[in-house]
Amino acid sequence: MPKRRNKAAKIRAALVDNPDASAKEIVQKLAAQRVRVTPAQVYNVKSTVAKPKVDGYASLIQAKKLADALGGIAQARAALDVLARLL
């Protein structure tokens, strides 16, 4: 029985090797390995890989620690305003 290939895993591996590659380049790279994928499949995998998972509770805890370190919420807001102006 032929071995099944996991195309998404191969796309992810190709994206790790070259994260700035376009979908067309990934398709060509995998075609050289005899794996047939479409640009739509690459875009689909790329969109799911690129999304960072944000834990809201952990972010709130970090914000609380920042506010405590700066002496309160007002000081934290002032510091963030200054940072926003610098960026």
The percentage of the chain sitting over the pLDDT mark of 90, rounded to a whole number, equals: 64
Residue 2 placed within a domain = no
Q: Which domain holds residue 34?
A: 7-50
Do both 46 and 60 map to the same domain? no
Does a structural domain hold residue 81? yes
Q: Is the pLDDT of residue 56 over 90?
A: no
As a whole number, mean pLDDT of residues 38-44 equals 94
33, amino acid identity:
Q
Question: Are residues 76 and 45 located together in one domain of the fold?
Answer: no
Show the tokens assigned to 37. 């994928």
Percent of the chain with pLDDT over 70: 89
Give the pLDDT confidence of 18-33 residue by residue, as tens digits: 888 999 999 999 999 9
Average pLDDT, the chain: 88
Look at residue 52 and give its three-state secondary structure. coil
Number of domains observed in the structure of the chain: 2
Entry pTM: 0.54
- 42 lies in the same domain as 66: no
73 close to 60: Cβ distance less than 8 angstroms: no
Is residue 71 in a domain? yes
Residue 23 located in a structural domain: yes
Q: Where are the alpha helices (DSSP H) in 1-87?
A: 7-17, 23-32, 39-50, 56-70, 73-86
With respect to residue 36, please indicate whether it lies within any of the assigned structural domains: yes
